[in-house]
């Protein structure tokens, strides 16, 4: 993976870091995800993004849960 340097307004950085903190991801991961969403094929990426978000959820044990394999069976 390559490192790059970006110039971003301090207010945007502060808001981005806060957003990332609330969503339990790093600011770097947030920026990477946003760029990927804009440049990769939307039709191929949306399902993986959805599963990645689902993986971050904390669900009470009283709820039924499924495996990825079960969710793919349609």
Instruction: Return the DSSP state at 52.
Output: H
Q: How many CB atoms lie within 10 A of CB 33?
A: 16
CA–CA distance, 16 with 57 (Å, rounded to integer): 20
Return phi, psi of residue 53, to 5°. -65, -40
Per-residue model confidence as pLDDT tens digits over 5-63:
999 999 999 999 999 999 999 999 999 999 888 777 666 677 788 888 888 887 666 66
Q: If you average pLDDT over residues 62-71, what whole number do you get? A: 78
User: Domain spans of the chain?
Assistant: 10-72
């Amino acid at each position: 993976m390559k490192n790059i340097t970006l110039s971003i307004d301090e207010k945007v950085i502060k808001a981005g870091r806060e957003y990332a903190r609330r969503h339990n991801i790093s600011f770097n991961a947030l920026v990477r995800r946003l760029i990927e969403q804009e440049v990769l094929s939307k039709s191929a990426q949306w399902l993986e993004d959805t599963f990645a978000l689902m993986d971050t959820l904390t669900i009470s044990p009283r709820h039924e849960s499924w495996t990825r394999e079960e969710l793919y069976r349609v």
